[in-house]
Structure 1
Amino acid sequence: MNRRSFLLSLGGLTLSQTIVGCAGNNQTKLNIQLLKGSIPSQVVNQFRQSLQEKVELKFAPVEQIQDLYQRLLSWQQNPKATDEPEWTRFIPFRNSQTFAVADLVTLGDYWLTTAIEKKLIQPLEAAQLKQWSGLDLRWRDLVTRNDQGILDPQGKVWAAPYRWGSTVIVYNRDKFKQLGWKPQDWSDLWRDELRSRISLLDQPREVIGLVLKKLGKSYNTENLETVPDLEKELQTLNQQVKFYSSNTCLEPLIMGATWLAVGWSSDVVSILARYPQLSVVIPRSGTAIWADLWVSPKANAQDALSSQWIDFCLQPNIARQISLVTRTNSPIPTNIAASDIQESFSSLLLNSQEVFAKGEFLLPLPPESTKQYESLFAKMKA
């Protein structure tokens, strides 16, 4: 799932801020490759200041989760990869670039099963994580899996969350003012006034999932044939949709071609400040939740410094900074008040515990269930 194509940096690390600190050859090093904009630069500076010894810190922001996943794949093929010298960028007809194997990498929860199954990452040492026991049980369950990437309470801890968001409804306030109502839940997408006025994500799990939620079912329903009227509901919803896109579902809304869009909160935050006519709402009945996680590449040895960084991100004051600057939610309570944030972002950051309680992770499904979702989604759009 590619849920990052519309994301802009929100005061986080930029590509020009790759190296923090300096060190000699014998000093301890920490190399982290992270999603651009997902960690504020001041948090990295505070981490450096908190260390007892001098450490060479390298934080390299990367544009999309998919690119980070591709690096995990490349390190599996070349576990001794190192950064190429700067001058090699100017060699004509050069097609590839190598990157030194990182100690930690950002990965989305949706990619976790595949990364484990393909042996791209290794388990974390949960015993070294001081903040681990303070995480909600749902977070610990999410990343505790067997060697096939399936949730297993007896499995190993494969990742640690540091921020999360959800699938949301974004709408044009001016258009809805004419209608005399505001969208509040998934059921509003079926209202007659919105025929051919909606843009949806081009994702079977997301679209069929929101219909399941409307019908009082789970996003993770395994056998869709057991859900009465599901196909009928999907066909009716399809009549409301003008565009399907996972990369550009918000663009038709911005241009006025649609009045409402369903998108990921990480994409939405980058446009709210620039387009004041847009508002966002988290459906009352519950929605899908995504998470950004720290994972350890298989090709690298783990050290205590990696655990220190993960723990640092889960400290209440640091987690609060990450939430406020990147406008996402934290896996631990942060006590953000309405006065701390712009009003346009209040629905995303306030009441996060209630949203989390009603929300669902998109958990791995059996292959036969995945085929059901894909087949039904294709039939819906035909």
Structure 2
Amino acid sequence: MLISRRKFLRQTAYATSAIASASTLAACGIFDQSPPTSDAGSEDVTRPATQDKKTLYLYGWATYVNNQEVLEGFTKETGIKVVGDAYDANEVMLAKLETSNGRSGYSIIYPSDYMVSQMRDKKLLTPLNKKLLPNLTNIATNYLELPHDRGAVFSIPVSLGTTGIAYNVEAVKSIVGEEPTDWSYLWQHKNKLRITLVNDPREVIGMALHTLSYSYNSKEESQIEHAFQKLRELMPAIANFSTDAWRDPLASGDLMMCMAFSGDAISLSRQNPNVKYVLPNNGTSIWTDTIAIPRGAPNIEGAHAWINYVMKPEIAAKISDANSFGTTNKLAKSLIPDDLKAIKALEPSETIIAKCDRITKLDPEALQIYDGFWTRLTTGLG
């Protein structure tokens, strides 16, 4: 099951101001429309706030909470039954935990990195007891000092994701010739390309900011406007802004190239050798999925047992195989399937990482600037 990252990096302040306008624009066909959430991902599910210690409720992205092999292995090892509910947006999870006032019934959640800092500020997370996590030594130390949670006080990063370029090899070679190596390729060949960009203002405007040597997280209106003007140059090549609906058209050659999130793109490339995913040589956005314990978790001991379990190398490798993301587990890297391991873009090199940026939380005033230019870009207004 492929996870949509459409709302992965969207912050509550942006979502509040933009959902209504995005819905209107979707009806005009410029945005993709995400499929309805399945029963497994319904935010209407209610879990008991008071539980025995033989059941553990998880709330996270689908490939983390619906992997039956991993869930059943934990039950066999600990005797604890695991029940997983999936969400398709960090904001859904955040809203549920906020309204429950610490009585959501969940003992494990999977927030993305920026959401950890937001939840920490709202005091919605429980500090981790490292004494109960001996397998923490399996996580590469550089991932334990990320700015959203230095020292991994409230969360453990488990998966590594990127934003890059997915492309149809035959279509690109026949029409353009050379294959893409960085974001500048889009502008160099804009008159020959038919592309999509993700339906995410922070990612798209951030990419343009990055190509202009600005930060992905710029708060300067003049810089954001500069990025907007640069993106306008690409409009003749852009078929639409789509985070999910590009896969079939790309595979068939109707689209030549798509801005895509790594899990989605690598999953498709594993199924179709005519599709490749590359990380731009000039850098891109990089992000992590984390695992954490929410405030009021009814099964703290079971939660720590689960976190320690998924940090076992063989389990981390299974999770990486399921979601086609890189892993932060240094001992799991040699255990992931050969076809996945062979994909160079699975995990960026240290050279590429040095050129990358992480999308971080911005204040509402800055987000309004992004929202304004995003609306102008996607509606074709000057």
Deviates most, 166-175 or 290-299: 290-299
State the Cα distance separating 1:356 from its structure 2 match.
4.3
Q: Is the 8 A contact 1:327 1:345 kept in 2?
A: no
Work out the CA distance in 2 between the residues paired with 1:280 and 1:311. 32
Aligned equivalent of 2:59, options 17, 21, 33: 33
1:177 to 173, 176, 179: 173
Instruction: Determine if contact 1:129/1:307 at 8 Å carries over to the other structure.
Output: yes
Match of 1:284 in 2: 281
**Deviation of residue 243 (structure 1)?**
0.7
Query: Which residues of 2 match residues 1-382 of structure 1 at below 5 A?
Result: 1-3=6-8, 28-38=54-64, 40-51=67-78, 55-62=79-86, 64-66=87-89, 69-70=91-92, 72-78=94-100, 101-126=105-130, 128-132=132-136, 134-144=139-149, 157-178=153-174, 179-192=176-189, 194-195=191-192, 197-226=194-223, 229-301=226-298, 303-334=300-331, 336=333, 340-342=337-339, 346-349=343-346, 355-381=352-378, 382=381
Contact 1:30–1:56, Cα closer than 8 Å, also in 2: yes
Q: Distance in 1 between matches of 2:223 and 2:91?
A: 35
Cα 1:80–1:326, aligned 2, differ >3 Å: closer, same or farther? closer
- Once the 2 structures are TM-superposed, how far is the Cα of residue 180 of structure 1 from its aligned partner? 1.6
SS in 2 for 1:164: strand
CA drift of 1:71 comes to: 5.1
Relative to the length of structure 2, the TM-score reads 0.73
How far off its partner does 1:293 sit? 1.7
Q: Which has the larger radius of gyration?
A: 1
Equivalent pair of 1:37/1:61 in contact (CA under 8 Å) = no
Deviation string, structure 1 residues 108-157 (Cα, Å, up to 9, x no partner): 2343344445554444345643344654345433442xxxxxxxx6x983
Q: Is the 8 A contact 1:34 1:106 kept in 2?
A: yes
Q: What secondary structure is seen at the aligned counterpart in 1 of 2:64?
A: coil
What is the CA distance between 1:219 and its match in structure 2? 1.5
Worse-superposed segment, 258-267 or 109-118: 109-118
Task: Quote how far apart the aligned CAs of 1:38 are.
Answer: 3.0
Judge conservation of contact 2:143–2:157 (CA < 8 Å) in 1. Answer: no
State the alpha-carbon separation in 1 of the partners of residues 206 and 111 from structure 2.
22
**Which residues of structure 2 form unaligned runs of 5+?**
1-5, 10-33, 42-50
2: CA distance between counterparts of 1:28 and 1:343? 35
Identity %: 23
Q: Per the alignment, in what secondary structure is the counterpart of residue 297 of structure 1?
A: coil
Counterpart AA for 1:208? I
Q: Describe the shift of the 1:230–1:269 C-alpha distance in structure 2 as closer, same or farther (beyond 3 A).
A: closer
CA RMSD of aligned residues (A): 3.7
Unaligned runs of 5+ in 1: 16-24, 82-99, 145-152
Q: Could you tell me how far apart the structure 2 residues matched to 1:362 and 1:370 are?
A: 12
When you count helix as a share of all residues, which structure comes out higher?
A: 2
CA contact (8 A) 1:287 1:359 kept: yes
Instruction: Say if 1:240 and 1:304 are closer, same or farther in 2 by CA, change over 3 A.
Output: same
Counterpart Cα distance in 2 of 1:371 and 1:72: 21
AA partner of residue 109 (structure 2):
V
Work out the CA distance in 2 between the residues paired with 1:244 and 1:367.
Answer: 23
Distance 1:161 1:343 in 2: 20
- 2:194–2:257 contact (8 Å) kept in structure 1: yes
The alignment's TM-score, normalised by the length of structure 1, stands at 0.73
Residue by residue over 1:322-371, the C-alpha shift from the partner in whole angstroms, topping out at 9 and shown as x without a partner, is 22343211123246469942279613335555554443221112333222
Deviation per CA, 1:285-308: give whole Å up to 9, x if none: 221123222232333246233123
**Larger strand proportion of the pair:** 1
